[in-house]
Chain A
Amino acid sequence: MHADQISWAEATGWQGKTNGAAGKANLVLYFGVRQALASGARYEELRAKFPRAHILGCSTGGQIQNDDISDDEIAAVALSFDATQLRLACEPAPHPMQSRTCGEAIGRQLAGDDLAGIFVLSDGLNINGSELVAGITGVVGEKVSLTGGLAGDGARFEETLVGGDCAPRTQLVAAIGFYGKAIRIGHGSAGGWDEFGPRRKITRSKGNVLFELDGEPALDLYERYLGDEAKGLPGTALLFPLRIRDPQQPDNDLVRTVLAVDRDKRSMTFAGDVPEGWTSQLMRGNFDRLAAGAGEAARAASAGINKSSHNGSVAILVSCIGRRLLMGQRTMDELEAAGAEFGPEIPRLGFYSYGEISPHGPSGICQLHNQTMTVTAITEATG
């Protein structure tokens, strides 16, 4: 396998060597700010550059290029697989209520005996990520590694774009399936947030819309904790992620991130389900522990591939926009922590997202995560 990292900037256009391998590349991943992608011109340029490749990308809350983070560039990687077959699937995602059927359609398109893994990019706002994941795994099974993320829109939460062999557009889910025995996919996911304050019961909710905690409107609670920063809702709600737990299975906890708020109904819409009867607790971040969490995720992903036996690898980092909003310039701490686990020879790229998709650590069951750093490491075994 071979990986070439390239990037685009307004001032310079596309940069980065492809060592004449552009013609061989069969998968290109690219992540960029919505404004840079919206015209579709960047996709057309990539299409011209890599005529044989599936081209998969999405808008972000900032893109990751090795240890750096940028808001106006496009980060991309062109991958040439030697033995691995690829198949692309695209499905419209018109409404969060249809997320499961959308996931099932993706699953059906990609399902195959030698399907080894799926990397999925989804619209970040018109989706119930939990349902999407459940739809896909429901068809392909839980043994197939499923990673990816929900597209972002900075801290604006207005519109997200996804493209799969097409110009990026809204309300789309695109996924690439990896087939064969050669492909190796490692993954890791970690939060690093600290729970604080009292535990609260989810007393009223419907799907991914949360109305009340302990009988009090959830939005009241967030506004109280955010103070002045409540103006920035829903984005600023990411500063206080919500951890939820099924009281029947207290070990299986999930972190939920806010996608929207309804100030009239005093409700909050999350990227995944918030079931009634579960308990919840606010979380807050400590920069050092968030960075350490990212390192932990990268270590797990790195362990999933055998570094010594590959001739080329790539690490895809999908981290939550909430982490970036909180950490500001210190966000790079987590990129450095992740990078340290791979070393300089393995290219790393990715984006800040509205939701991360990865198998959950202890259970191995693929789920939608929020407020995490999710790392997917991809390589091919030699011979």
Chain B
Amino acid sequence: MIASLLPRNLRRTLAGQLLALAIALALGAVVILMIDENPLRVFATLMRGAFGDSEKIAGTLLQTTPILICGVAACIGLRGGMFNVGIEGQLFLGGFAAAWVGFSFALPPVLHVLVAVAAAVAAGAAWVSVPAYFRVRFGANEVVSTILANYVAVLLTSYFTIFLFKRPGGWSETPPILPSAYLPELFSFSRLNIGLLIGLALAVATALFFRFTTTGYAVTMVGSAPKFAEYGGINVRRAGFGVLLASGAVGGLAGGVETLGVHHRFMEGFAPGFGFDGLIAALLANGSPIGTIFTALFFGALRAGSLLLEVDTTASREIITVIQALIILAVSADLLLRRKGDRTGGRRWKF
């Protein structure tokens, strides 16, 4: 059953991606040479920073968690033919909503977590509902409206944090959430928490949903052949709205997991770029939730590894962003070439 969740041409996909990765690393090496560092040393440091010991591995997984959940959110959208670029904003609002429940109410332990997570999910869904409505009612391009909604979300949560719920003291952050709302941690030596397991379960559940449920089938058809789906009697608008709502809800969940599991409060700019990294992870996995587990892990490792890079070498953390961009370029070029070769045309992804 699990095998049927993987892409058909797995081997070709992997071979292409690995080649693309090698090219990207070679280009990255050139950049590193230009700043007078030894590429091998930089890459070794990166690897050590990401997987050097159990603490470092936990650190990598900690970074992977929000990217994975955001990636699943993006996968849901992509499968239904919707490009939700607003995951970043849904993540911020979800994070804030969870924190608010966490510090404003005193509830029994398990219930507190559940209510806070539910608030995060609802906030994410609510935030995407406006672009989603415009999309299905007036045909407004969801890429534009969700990108714009990101700015509003980030600034709105900043406003909440600075002016309405600021913790007494210097930082622009909310009061800490009550310990009853903490997500349980997995190990004593890391803040790694059950959010990772939530993400993994979500990825598998999403893959199963699309493969084995009638609703998943309908959504997939709307995404890959909207005119065919309409002809076959599927309500294309309702499916599109539902897909965006679900995608936003999962984006909100990512934010909730991040505040309840890692920061235990909401801070301005608490999760920079996780939403976008998740989107890219999903695109590199070609919209497959199972594939997103691996691409998210890869991005998580890059982020975690770059921390050590700054300590141990003269290369700055920004160099990682450069390498990451090169990898994305190389891998997406491979994907595009392949899709062009397929000739049958691709999904309705609008770049």
Chain A complexes with chain B: no
